Structure 1
Amino acid sequence: MLPVIALVGRPNVGKSTLFNQLTRSRDALVADLPGLTRDRKYGEGKLDEQGFIVIDTGGISGDEQGIDFEMAKQSLQAVDEADVVLFLVDGRSGLNPGDELIANHLRRQEKPCYLVVNKTDGINPDVAVSDFYSLGIGEPLPIAASHGRGVNLLLEHVLSELPDFDELDAERLREIERGTKIAIVGRPNVGKSTLVNRLLGEERVVVFDQAGTTRDSVYIPYEREEKRYTLIDTAGVRRRKNIKEAVEKFSIVKTLQAVRDANVVVVVIDAREGVTEQDMHMLSFVIDTGRSLVIALNKWDGMNGEEKDRVKEQIQRKLAFADFARFHFISALHGSGVGNMYDSVDEAYTCAMEKWPTNKLTRLLEDIVAEHQPPMVNGRRIKLRYAHQGGSNPPIIVIHGNQTAALPASYKRYLENKFTKVLGIKGTPIRFEFKSSENPFEGKKNELTGRQLAKKQRFKEHVRTLKKQERKKATKKR
């Protein structure tokens, strides 16, 4: 198995910065703000030929209440999963009572634990680590995670005592990551994290009755019924005018990146509030990126018949532009209707990745054009000659012909509806690209041969003779 390394410590000691250094990425959100990380984040790292998995966790202070208590539970669960723990402390702030509480807990776990003193840049490392010997965790290891100083030495020290790199496990991890990526998006506090936990069947991410609980995009690979998936829990997206904190701006950027990175996007809507303008903006963004779409109306339980009818009427009126998507009326808290969403996700992913042969698409195009031909432009009929597939996720159909730039939007919608219906595409938008064939003789002058010139001259003389004869007949009649 690949060794698992958990990063734990008080808030704002540099765990996410070290996570990015170990994974050579910028996946973890980093800012000078305590409590920024709330959910467990997993990443893969490698040093020479030794691979490992890193878990970033939220800070533990020892006096957690409310949402901080839920964050601490996630951190302690990461310690249980790990093979080795890196206990980070702040070399500038010195020893803190919260550090002593965490050290007491780690000593009881009977797992390899290394005391890492971060933020030692610009100060004497010996002075920075002197206060932390009293924790009894072992030899403090000084690093500066923001600059990467001492990180490789720390890794070499830790990995030298762990199992050897197993290529099969690394390949299996990559296979899991290549599974269907499902992004859960929506406005704040609509139940995205609750839905993630319900789909996984465990309390994997922090759930709390507070808008903005999730701040970073959390990728969670797993298997279900021998199928590979990666769930992406994202931060809620509010209207731009309501965004005040810089951290929230970066969280929204991470959410939009997760949408582009996903194969299927589940947009969660609060059924009790109905379809809002922000929900429609999010749906439009997902469709514009070309990702497969599933719409989940959460908190459906407890609503009376009149309220449900009102929401359904809103869907028909406001979401006609997303009629290709599957709608699910669910309760993420109680689990009703959640299991059926996997069928829609699998169907949308299959349609998005479908491959069609060129001859099938060309025959379909010919049948559609024969049923209803394109209009005429400048006295010439627009001709659509053949079609082939240009890409997947979303499916792209490339159609070749002449004057395709003049094809009206109404006829493009006609083609889209016909292709979608005949090919049986569900849950994903379909895109068309039109290419006009160039005239190979455009701009070239036709040079006549001597024989053609003589024939042209005889034809002109013949025409002149006919005209003279007509004039003579007209004169005799007078």
Structure 2
Amino acid sequence: MTEETPTANHDEEQVERALRAGLEDFDLSDEDRALLSREGGDDDELSEEETRPVVAIIGRPNVGKSTLVNRVIGRREAVVEDVPGVTRDRVAYDGEWSGRRFTLVDTGGWEIDAQGIHLRVAEQAEVAIDLADAVLFVVDATVGATDADEAVVKLLRRSKKPVVLVANKVDDQRTEADAAMLWSLGLGQPWPVSALHGRGTGDALDALLDVLPAKTTVAGAYQRGGPRRVALVGRPNVGKSSLLNKLAREDRVVVDNVAGTTRDPVDEYIELGGKTWRFVDTAGIRRRVHQTRGADFYASLRTQTAIEKAEVAVVLIDAEESIAEQDIRVVQQVIDAGRSLVVAFNKWDLLDEERRYYLEREIERELVQMTWAPRVNISAQTGRNVDKLVPAIETALDSWDTRIPTGRLNAFIGEIVAGHPHPVRGGKQPRILFATQASTRPPRFVIFASGFIEHGYRRFVERRLREEFGFEGTPIEISVRVRERRGKNAGR
């Protein structure tokens, strides 16, 4: 990429202004105009995220706070165990109810006279109250108000934050009387809820929205995103667990070849290259001998979940074996989900010269559409080259986040079209009128044209965009909006 000069920038801005003015001669929809007026759309989105109100979920250990978090966010992400103290730190999630978005903060259980790790948990809960706009105070209705609950009430009163009292574990009408007993806490109406079954959660969330401000008063308290999220995916037994253990420098994941060993993906926070990364592991997936089709279905489902939770996927492929249709399918899942991509060939140290030669031919043939993905040849067993994963992951994420200024983009598209115009079809030659990058993560481009742009020409434009701007490790989406000149159909 060439370095920009002030003159070049000025010329690009002039090109953009001229092309925008030319668009006014064409029939544009309200959606078109909204897109064209939203320069740097992702920045607007980020500011919206940063101003979302913050809701802290507070309560004693094991009253069901994480279960309630999972119910609100609509997926199983917060760790739930029937053991007090599983959640230790403040963890932020994106929540939404009735079209209102907010940041939901899960906390560890608050206890009086806490010591050691439990003291730190209690401190985190107190900080969460300070850094919230409203509080969901969760009490176990089957136990009733305890001394610890009374202490939390004093803490909440001092904070002067709006509080919605959630009486959890009210699984049926018979236990609703237990919830009514919690009026004694003096926090107003207790909302009977079963976080496990979803019963009553809607009413409690409605009550929350009534006291929640439109914008947060604690902006910047929670950095959006946290550690970058990496999914290790691939077909069974390619070495995902071994790689995770090698990266973590300890045995965190069970590695075995026993058929039928299935469990949920485990998230691990791992220090690599001076940064903390959040690895989503899907290593527990194994093919069941007698239920191959069923197991494949669940493996695919879990892989999809891991990919959707991640920002970048490292697809592991067993270099000793021929590239299988299942490998290509996993890579395609990543691309279809719009996530950035790194391809890692595992067991590289076990290959002889002949296998390496044939593998290169397979890569050329089977992965021809993914030549833009960074490739790392590693050994999860010995640790060879695993340090090269971080630069590859960072490259892919940088590309995924890249935004091209509209003036620069249109000047470049103009050069492409001048050098290689779209072929004439049926006596007509479609003209590219204007291009804009609608969003990042992954980069999405919208091209306004006077006629249909063929798939082959779109691929050509994508290839040239990659040559000019890099985009190594990220899919690119290009959509075309065909618009006719205004008044063309008048009088027909």
Q: Please give the range of the TM-score, normalised by the shorter of the 2 chains.
A: 0.5 to 0.7
Match of 2:76 in 1: 27
For residues 290 and 364 of structure 1, the distance between their equivalents in structure 2, rounded to whole angstroms, comes to: 24
Q: Equivalences for 1:52-451 in 2 at 5 Å?
A: 52-53=107-108, 146=196, 175=223, 177-211=225-259, 213=261, 215-235=263-283, 236=285, 242-244=292-294, 249-250=297-298, 252-403=300-451, 405=452, 407-445=453-491
Instruction: State the alpha-carbon separation in 2 of the partners of residues 81 and 189 from structure 1.
Output: 37
Tell me the amino acid that sits aligned with residue 76 of structure 2: D
Note if contact 1:23-1:43 (Cα within 8 Å) is conserved in structure 2: no
* RMSD, aligned α-carbons: 4.6
Distance 1:443 1:392 in 2: 36
Is the contact between residue 187 and residue 238 of structure 1 (CA under 8 Å) also seen in structure 2?
no
CA contact (8 A) 1:28 1:41 kept: no
Q: CA deviation at 1:278?
A: 0.7
2:348, 2:362 → 1: CA distance?
15
2:259–2:286 Cα contact (<8 Å) kept: no
Task: State TM-score, norm by structure 2.
Answer: 0.57
CA distance in 1, matches of 2:248, 2:357: 31
**TM-superposition CA deviations, 1:11-48 (whole Å, max 9, x none):** xxxx9x98534654641699xxxx9xxxx9999679xx
What's the offset of the Cα at 1:432? 0.7
Deviations 1:258-287 (A, max 9, x none): 212321111111122231111111112212
Residues 388-439 of structure 1, C-alpha deviations (whole Å, 9 max, x = no match): 1011121112111200x2x222211111111110112211121111112232
Q: Give 1:253's aligned amino acid.
A: L
Distance 2:365 2:322 in 1: 12
CA displacement at 1:215 relative to structure 2: 2.3
Q: Does the Cα contact within 8 Å between 1:28 and 1:216 map onto a contact in 2?
A: no
Map residues 447-466 of structure 1 onto 2, 5 A cutoff: none
Q: Secondary structure at the match of 1:275?
A: coil
Q: Tell me how far 1:210 sits from its aligned partner.
A: 3.1
Measure, in 1, the Cα distance between the counterparts of 2:331 and 2:472.
16
Q: Deviations over 1:357-379 (max 9, x none)?
A: 10000000000001110012332
Matched to 1:418, the amino acid is R
CA shift, 1:327, in A, is 1.4
**Counterpart-to-counterpart distance in 1, 2:170 and 2:253:** 32
Alignment: residue pair count: 335
How far has the Cα of 1:188 moved from its partner? 1.2
Supply the distance in 2 between the matched residues of 1:176 and 1:227 (Cα, whole angstroms): 16
Q: Within 2, Cα distance between the matches of 1:82 and 1:267?
A: 39
Q: Which has the higher contact order (CA 8 A, sep 6+)?
A: 2
Q: Label 1:23 to 1:434 Cα distance change in 2 as closer, same or farther (>3 A).
A: closer
Structure 2: how far apart are the matches of 1:271 and 1:82?
A: 47
CA distance, structure 2, for counterparts of residue 28 and residue 442 of structure 1: 54
Q: Secondary structure at the match of 1:296?
A: strand
Give me the whole-angstrom Cα distance separating, in 1, the residues matched to 2:58 and 2:324.
Answer: 42
- Percent of paired sites with the same residue: 32
In structure 2, the CA distance between the partners of 1:322 and 1:82, relative to structure 1 (3 Å rule), is farther
Please tell me whether the aligned partners of residues 271 and 311 of structure 1 are also in contact (alpha carbons under 8 angstroms): yes
Secondary structure in 1 matching 2:416: helix
Paired residues of 1:176 and 1:230 also in contact (CA < 8 A): no
Deviation at 1:148, TM superposition (A): 8.5
Partner SS for 1:365: helix
| CA–CA separation in structure 2 for the residues paired with 1:196 and 1:375 | 50
Query: Contact 2:247 / 2:270 at 8 angstroms: preserved in 1?
Result: no
The alignment's TM-score, normalised by the length of structure 1, stands at: 0.59
Q: Structure 2 counterpart of 1:52, which letter? A: T
CA distance in 1, matches of 2:90, 2:299: 22
Gaps of 5+ in 1: 8-14, 55-79, 86-118, 126-143, 150-166, 447-478
The CA deviation at 1:209 is 3.2
* Letter aligned with residue 107 of structure 2: F
For structure 2, the 5+ residue unaligned runs are 1-55, 93-103, 110-115, 122-168, 176-193, 200-216
CA contact (8 A) 1:18 1:146 kept: no
1:243 partner letter: R
Are the structure 2 counterparts of residues 311 and 366 from structure 1 closer, same or farther at C-alpha, using a change threshold of 3 Å?
Answer: same
Distance in 1, matches of 2:324 and 2:264, equals 24
Aligned to 2:53: none
Contact persistence 2:262–2:286 (CA under 8 A): no
User: Contact 2:69 / 2:78 at 8 angstroms: preserved in 1?
Assistant: no
Counterpart residue identity of residue 20, structure 1: T
The AA in structure 1 aligned to 2:454 is P
* 1:204-228 deviation digits (Å, cap 9, x = unpaired): 3222233564521222345544534
Query: 2 CA distance for matches of 1:272 and 1:145?
Result: 47
Q: 1:27 is matched by which residue type in structure 2?
A: R
